[in-house]
Amino acid sequence: MDRNPVVAGQFYPDNAAALWGMIDQFHGLAERKRQASTLLAMVPHAGYVFSGAVCGKTLASANLHPTVLMLGPNHTGMGAELSLWNDGDWLFPEGRMPLDRELADALMAAEPRLTPDRGAHVREHSLEVIVPFLHRLNPATTMVPVAVSAPSLDVLEGVGRAVGRALKSFERPVSIVVSSDMSHYISHEQAKRRDSMALEAALGLDPARLFSVVRENRISMCGILPMTLGLFAALEMGAEKAELAAYATSGDVSGDYEQVVGYAGVLVS
């Protein structure tokens, strides 16, 4: 069964012409495309008017493979802790992103804790909003979506490393795309200060430190679990470098700097 979009017309346009026009504008913000293959890209998942510029600039700056593992948080609390959508394409206005069934099977064979599950995905927006960006960059893209809510660092490391080994040995090169916003509902200056602590750990390719910094400083980074897992996977794949491709807060769009959400774009190669 295919997955129908649940936030089209809310987070992004439900009309294909308007959708592609908006995404093309955001992709156009990229100054250059990286030469090195992108092992992992982290991008935000809010409404396009707020986070689309950071998402579009980051992904258009990346050098992504046409096979993508998508890792996102679980805002709904539904479904399995490591929920892999393994059957059915993801639809968006006038199009679809095909599920890569070979990759889904390979990942579940390599890591039994990845659970075939729809419950975590049917009402979750964090991966849905990124799919049109990926399709617009390369219509041949296929993907496997995973919603991550396992709270244990040991589990995230074990699963992440198993996933990284599976991706490294897969018959086709694979990029990871992680969905995460940063700090929520604090002032612009507070968000920048707190987010810089988390981003320093991420850019240092230190997922355990990222996990602890976010927890100890109560940084409301909603994608900390998928990003921790994703970084462990990227390290297994040979990651050597990470860079900040973009950063902004919702205040940069709304003009309200008292209650903002932070958005960051990170590229790992």
pLDDT digits (tens, 9 = 90+) for 195-231: 999 999 999 999 999 999 999 999 999 999 999 999 9
The reported pLDDT for the residue numbered 152 is: 98
pLDDT band (50, 70, 90) for residue 27 = very high
Distances (CA, A) of 189 to 9, 165, 192, 196, 251: 31, 39, 5, 11, 10
CB within 8 A of 19, min separation 6: which ones? 12, 13, 92, 93, 132
Cβ contact 126:39 at 8 Å: no
Structure tokens at 260: 């903002």
The pLDDT tens digits of the residues spanning 44-88 come to 999 999 999 999 999 999 999 999 999 999 999 999 999 999 999
Cα–Cα distance measured from residue 99 to residue 87, given in angstroms and rounded to the nearest whole number: 7
Q: Which domains does the chain have, with CATH numbers?
A: 16-268 (3.40.830.10)
Q: Name the average pLDDT for the chain.
A: 98
Structure tokens at 201: 């750990």
Point out which residues pair with 179 in neighbouring strands. 43
The reported pLDDT for the residue numbered 256 is: 95
Distances (CA, A) of 106 to 81, 99, 170, 192, 268: 19, 13, 8, 39, 23
Cα–Cα distance measured from residue 96 to residue 236, given in angstroms and rounded to the nearest whole number: 31
pLDDT above 70 covers what percent of the chain?
Answer: 100
Cβ contact 215:57 at 8 Å: no
pLDDT band (50, 70, 90) for residue 249 = very high
The reported pLDDT for the residue numbered 253 is: 93
pLDDT, average across residues 106-111:
98
DSSP letter at 31 equals -
CB within 8 A of 86, min separation 6: which ones? 99, 101, 104, 105, 108, 116, 144
The reported pLDDT for the residue numbered 155 is: 98
Structure tokens at 152: 């244990």
Distances (CA, A) of 228 to 107, 124, 140, 211, 259: 17, 19, 28, 6, 26
